[in-house]
Structure 1
Amino acid sequence: MAKVTVWFDGSCPLCSREIALMRRLDRRDAILFVDAAAEGSVCPIGRQALLERFRAREADGPLLSGAAAFAALWRAIPLLRPLGLAARNKLVLKVLERLYLGFLRLRPASPALAASRRLC
C-alpha cells in the first residue's frame, strides 16, 4: 500500500517527465501517482487547485502543497530521503518554497522550454 499519494499535472510535459523519473526511483512502490488532469481521477480538492500546485499526502496526513509536497515525495524515495528530511527544517522548507514559487512563475513557458531542450 502506498505511503504517499501525489497529484500531478499529466498534461504538463515537464511535470510528466519528472514524475516518470520519480516512478523509476520508487522501487518500493511507496507512492501512488495520480494524474489530476486525467478524466475520472479522484481529487481531494478541486481539480483546478490540484493542477495549479503540486500536491501530496503522506499516509492519512494533511494535504500538502508546493515544496512541502515535494519533501513528502522525496522522503518516500530512499535516494532522496535525506533531502526530504532536511526539508522538515522550517528554514530549508522556506528556501525550497521560494524556489518552487519561482518555478511556478516560469511554468507557463516550461513546456516550450522543455521541448526546445528535448526534455519532453
Structure 2
Amino acid sequence: MSDYPLTLLYDESCPICKLEMDNLRERDHLNRLLFVDASAPGFDAGKYGVTLSEIMRVIHGVRPDGSIVTGVETIHLAYKAAGLGWLTAAINFPLLKPICNWAYVHFASNRHHVSEILADVIIRIAAKRAEKRSRACKAGKCTLK
C-alpha cells in the first residue's frame, strides 16, 4: 500500500495551518501531496467518507486507496513527502507517540486562539517567504504554485 499521493484535508482558515501547508507545498518537489481546503465554500467532506466536524477537529490525510489517516500520523507522512520526515520521526517512538497525539489534539482544538497569539510571528514568516518567492521569480526561478 502506498501513502502517496497523500491528499491533505486541512483548515486554511487557520493561519498556522495555512502557513504550514504553504511550507509543505513549497517543499513538495516530487508532487506527493495534494492540498484540499476543508474550510472552502462548497467543500464536500462526504466525498472522503468523513464529516466536516471531524476534519475541522484534526488534519486528515487520504491515501490513494481511500484509507484515512489523522493527526500526527498525517503530519508525519506529509513531512516525509516533503523531505522533512526526520523532523517528525520521533513521533513514532512508542513512548512519545501517545504524548504527541495528546499534544496535537489539544493544539488543534486551540489552533485559532494560538494563531491570534502568534499573529505577528505568522505574518513575519509569511512575508519572508513571499519575499523569497518574489526574488526567485525576478531571477527567473519562479516557484509559485
- Asked if Structure 1 and Structure 2 have the same fold, meaning a TM-score greater than 0.5 normalized by the shorter chain, the answer is yes
Distance 1:27 1:42, change over 3 A: farther
Equivalent position SS for 1:91: coil
Equivalent position SS for 1:118: helix
Structure-2 separation of matches of 1:27 and 1:40: 29
Aligned residues: 117
Q: Which has the larger radius of gyration?
A: 2
* CA-to-aligned-CA distance 1:17-64 (integer Å, 9 cap, x gap): 111111111111110000000023342111121111111123215211
Identity rate, percent = 24
CA contact (8 A) 1:68 1:93 kept: no
Amino acid at match of 1:52: R
Which blocks of at least 5 consecutive residues in structure 1 are unaligned? Answer: none
Instruction: Specify the alignment match of 1:91 in structure 2.
Output: 95
Candidates 29, 32, 56, aligned match of 2:31: 29
Amino acid at match of 2:111: R
Matching of residues 99-114 of structure 1 within 5 Å:
99-114=103-118
Equivalent position SS for 2:118: helix
CA contact (8 A) 2:13 2:39 kept: yes
Question: TM-score, with normalisation over the residues of structure 2?
Answer: 0.69
Question: TM-score, with normalisation over the residues of structure 1?
Answer: 0.81
